[in-house]
Amino acid sequence: MSGYPEYMQASLKLVEKTRPDRVGKALRAMNAEEKQQILRDWHPDYKMDQKRKLMIGSSTGELMPHEVADTLEAHPIIKPGDIDLSNVAYDVDVLVIGAGGAGLSASLTAIEHGVSPDKVLMVQKLRLGDANSKMSQGGIQAADAPDDNPTIHYLDVIGGGHYANKPDLVEAMVKEGPGVIKWHEELGVTYDKLEDGTMQLAPGGGTSRKRMHSCKDYTGLEITRVLVDEFINKEISYVELTSAVDLVMDDRGQVAGAVLWDMDHDDYKVARAKSTILATGGFGRLHIQGFETTNHYGATNDGVVMAYHVGAKLRDLDSTQFHPTGAAYPEQIVGQLCTEKLRARGAQPLNKEGELFVYPLETRDVEASALIRECYGREKGIVTPTGMRGVWLDTPLIDVINGEGTIEREFAAMYRTFNKFGIDIRKEPMLVYPTLHYQNGGVEINVQCETSVPGLYAAGEVCGGVHGKNRLMGNSQLDLYVFGRRAGRFAAERAKTATLGNLTLDHLDVYEKMLSDAGVETDRKAPMLLPEYRGKRTLEHQLKML
């Protein structure tokens, strides 16, 4: 029985009909000019009316999506007078904000570098390990195969990022990739391996080698839960359901901790710290240009906002990653990730005629643009009952090419999810459309993970510079552990010698003054902390770009 409505059956028949002829076939990859052209014409990043230049602060004039600028041109939630800074609830060496892959790695590494577990505090607005890190499906890149090396990885990253990446950060990431995999295996992460004991590696969009290490299609889940388990083993202190709402500074211009909101008790608490690490993740829940998102509930750009309130420099926030294949049907899972590994293992994107229209492993920005063009330029998409458009992703080919049972074995999560809603992806294709996936830019860091403000470190998606203007699949996972570990190490080293002055929130008054001087009149407040879906907003799907 088909999981799709009657009116889509004719198109599904065409997919089935063309399938035998498509085995082993692919359109050629685009050349540099064709890529530039399709990005300019169809990528959401290139719609200039969907962005504006920031009016205030250390990155004034930087172009970014309206939704991001809205969170920066907004009032802080708290005012200095609201908080009693003499009442310090937590006094620690290293404060880690965020409990995903970067925060967990940072905490574990801080104690390796001599900080006592009770002098590290991790705060997290949801639960330990609840983050986008856990949702990563397809894999993590690391150049450890015999036919690969970090130099080749470097070139893939920098070309894929349109040469806008910060070279030092790319170097650190590609060189330390194999070391991250080694660390994970010591901790007991289960990577997919071949019978001879070598890694089972897959390609990704824009990679020139098979470099993707995976844990079925639960890669992020597997790594995150092992790190959480180890974090608890090490008895590092942490508080869940407690969100940082702003950073605290001292009278010497250093970041010195954060004001925390205890979400169970609606109460503010002060954490003082010699080093503070932002590991708050990205901004998917801002729904840039109305796009649905693959992101976790907590991905509301809090870290960038807090960093900006203390004057940290930002970069590359004009560039947003739309994952080519988010679910377009059924309605209940619209926007959720359909991993790139599906295409890596043979699934082809097809239009409503069942025709190939793009090389399946272009970089994500190019691939997403081709899907948007097929739906809105060439009018060859399939329209869903709620009016969304999508194209087919022909998953049954995976079993045709790799043998029956491959989908269930390697795509347990995908198979399970669609099955719950009546679609058997072994037999029928998925219906997909690009979905908001990742913020390519963020807070600027150097290779020590220092931001431009003393005492403030950052790691993971909250940062900019590693991926330039476009991130490759599997490099966000790698980024988390490479820079999470670096942040933990350098924050720990700093905490050994740093001393703090008197705590202050005066920077929030300065920020308010910048807002009024720039003529920003708004009742917006930020950080957002929790997205707003109450009432009819539950049902909204409104693409603003089209």
Partner 1 sequence: MGKNESEMVTIHVMGKKHEVPADLTIMKAMEYAGHQFRRGAGCRGGYCGACAAMYRVKGSYKLQGALACQKIVEDGMYIAQIPFSPAEKITYDLSELRPDANTFLEYYPEISRCLSCNTCTKACPQDIQVMDYVQASLRGDVEEAAKLSFDCISCGLCAVRCPAEIVPYNVGQLARRLNSRYVMGPTEHVLKRVEEVEAGEFDADIDELKASDKKTLQDRYENREVKL
Residue 343 a catalytic site member: yes
**Strands 463-464 and 212-213, bridge-based pairing:** unpaired
Tokens 């029928």 locate to 428
User: Given candidates 197, 403, 519, 523, which one binds partner 1 under the rule CB under 8 A?
Assistant: 197
Exposed, middle or buried, 540 (CB in 10 Å: 0-12/13-18/19+)?
Answer: exposed
**Near partner 1 by CB under 8 A: residue from 252, 421, 506, 513:** 421
Under the binding rule (CB under 8 A), the answer on residue 179 touching partner 1 is yes
Q: Kindly state the helix (H) or strand (E) to which residue 262 belongs, with its residue range.
A: strand 255-262
261 or 308: whose CB is closer to partner 1?
Answer: 261
Q: Tell me the three state secondary structure of residue 196.
A: coil
Of 291-299, 351-359, 458-466, 488-496, the segment contacting partner 1 by CB under 8 A is: 291-299
Comparison of 128 and 515: residue with beta carbon closer to partner 1: 128
Indicate which residue of 22, 153, 213, 323 is catalytic: 323
- Pick out residues in 209-238 that bind partner 1 (CB under 8 A): 209-210, 216, 218, 220-222, 225-226, 229-230, 232-235
Give the pair of three-digit tokens for residue 213. Answer: 């290490």
CB 333 within 8 A of CB 294: no
Element (H, E) at 463: strand 463-464
Q: Is 323 a catalytic residue?
A: yes
Catalytic-role residue among 343, 426, 437, 485: 343
Residues 294-353 that bind partner 1 (CB under 8 A): 294, 296-298, 330-333, 336-337
CB of 126 to partner 1, least distance (A): 6
**Which member of 49, 84, 264, 523 binds partner 1 (CB under 8 A)?**
264
Q: Which of residues 77-136 bind partner 1 (CB under 8 A)?
A: 126-127, 129-130, 132, 134-135
CB of 380 to partner 1, least distance (A): 22
Would you say 428 and 2 are in contact if contact means Cβ atoms under 8 Å apart?
Answer: yes
How far apart CA 323 and CA 363 sit, in angstroms, is 10
Compute the least distance from the CB of residue 14 to partner 1, in Å. Answer: 20
Of 54, 72, 66, 53, nearest to 524 (Cα)? 72
Residues 309/504, Cβ–Cβ less than 8 Å: no
239 binds partner 1 (CB under 8 A): no
Q: Is 387 in the site for partner 1 (CB under 8 A)?
A: no
The binder of partner 1 chosen from 150, 324, 396, 434 (CB under 8 A) = 150
Q: Which is nearer to partner 1, 472 or 508 (CB)?
A: 472
- Count interface residues toward partner 1 (CB under 8 A): 99
- 359, two tokens: 């090389």
Q: Burial letters for 213-246: b for 16+ Cβ neighbours within 10 Å, e otherwise?
A: bbbbbbbbbbbbebbbeebeeeebebbbebbbbb
Instruction: By CB under 8 A, tell whether 37 contacts partner 1.
Output: no
Q: Which residues on adjacent β-strands are paired with residue 389? A: 383
> Identity (one letter) of the amino acid at 44?
P
Catalytic residues: 323, 343
